[in-house]
């Protein structure tokens, strides 16, 4: 393979957008209001669009005759490198919003750094994505405040979602060997440097939303190394169904 580290690094970024986009796509037509439903679908489309750009580049650097569809649909579960946070299910609307916000804050911090990558393609994708992800964060952050500081029931459900999903946040800053190699080459983002800004920003908004910041000492990891939760297999079964059922199909 032409550049295994770069290829793996691109997948590590793209899989987060792919899996979260798939989760949001499951909600199309099921939002609590028409406006919110459309907004969630548009965010899903943004994420899938980013994924396509990453996968097209990954196919190019792979040194193999791969397409973006091959990378998306024909890998096994252990080959996906997304963090555990983005694969968590749509338990209720509070979970959808909490999952989105906890990822959006990281995603924007990440892209703001990736735009300065020595890799011109990754830099261009990041610069385009910043505009989209800025909206994503504003949307999810506004809903956190609306639900957290809303009714007794909405507050309770929002707190439940934040408490449950908090365990997956620390993995966002875990560095794989590919991450470390790309940082050393001036291509990748040094993730631990984002950690303080991330938790400061998230904690400030949660406080504004009258939500408690979870006090958790233990976190869940594994997604970046292909070890996923029980939810991932079901997600991939939906995502890959058409390509697995009708191999080599094209629109």
Tell me which of 119-128, 178-187, 211-220, 240-249 is least confident. 240-249
Structure tokens at 74: 């024909």
* Cβ atoms of 123 and 59 closer than 8 Å: no
> What is the spatial distance between Cα 142 and Cα 137, in angstroms, rounded to a whole number?
8
- The band of 23, judged by pLDDT with boundaries at 50, 70 and 90, is very high
For the stretch 194-219, pLDDT in tens is 999 999 999 999 999 999 999 888 89
Q: Phi and psi of 220, rounded to 5°? A: -105, 140
Average pLDDT, the chain: 94
pLDDT at 123 over 90: yes
Closest CA to 109 of 73, 83, 134, 146: 134
pLDDT tens string 26-61: 988 888 888 888 988 999 999 999 999 999 999 999
Alpha carbon distance 167, 163 (integer Å): 8
Q: Is the pLDDT of residue 1 over 50?
A: no
* Pairs from 242-249 (Cβ < 8 Å, separation ≥ 24): 243/69, 243/73, 243/74, 244/73
Percent pLDDT > 70 in the chain is: 99
Task: Give the model's confidence band at 251: pLDDT under 50 very low, under 70 low, under 90 confident, else very high.
Answer: low
Predicted structure pTM score: 0.94
Q: Which CATH superfamily is domain 4-211+224-245 in?
A: Ferritin, core subunit, four-helix bundle (1.20.1260.10)
Please tell me the predicted confidence (pLDDT) of residue 249: 74
pLDDT category at 130 given cuts 50, 70, 90 is very high
Contact indicator for 214, 163 with CB cutoff of 8 Å:
yes
> 191 φ, ψ to 5°?
-60, -40
Rounded to 10 degrees, the C-alpha dihedral 12/13/17/22 comes to -10
Domain extents for the chain? 4-211+224-245
């Amino acid at each position: 393979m032409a550049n295994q580290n770069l290829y793996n690094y691109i997948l590590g970024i793209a899989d987060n957008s792919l899996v979260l986009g798939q989760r949001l796509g499951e909600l199309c037509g099921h939002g609590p209001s028409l406006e919110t439903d459309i907004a969630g679908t548009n965010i899903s489309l943004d994420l899938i669009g980013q994924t396509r750009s990453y996968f097209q580049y990954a196919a190019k650097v792979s040194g193999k005759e791969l397409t973006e569809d091959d990378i998306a649909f024909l890998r096994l579960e252990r080959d996906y490198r997304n963090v555990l946070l983005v694969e968590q299910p749509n338990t209720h609307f509070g979970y959808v919003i909490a999952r989105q916000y906890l990822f959006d804050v990281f995603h924007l911090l990440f892209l703001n750094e990736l735009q300065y990558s020595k890799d011109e393609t990754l830099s261009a994708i990041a610069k385009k994505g910043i505009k989209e992800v800025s909206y994503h964060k504003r949307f999810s952050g506004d809903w956190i405040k609306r639900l957290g500081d809303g009714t007794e029931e909405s507050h309770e459900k929002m707190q439940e979602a934040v408490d449950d999903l908090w365990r997956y946040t620390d993995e966002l800053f875990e560095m794989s060997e590919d991450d470390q190699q790309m940082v050393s080459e001036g291509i990748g983002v040094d993730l631990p440097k984002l950690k303080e800004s991330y938790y400061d920003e998230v904690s400030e908004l949660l406080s504004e939303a009258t939500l408690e910041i979870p006090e958790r000492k233990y976190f869940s990891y594994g997604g970046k190394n292909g070890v996923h939760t029980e939810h991932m297999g079901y997600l991939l079964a939906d995502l890959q169904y058409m390509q697995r059922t009708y191999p080599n199909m094209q629109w």
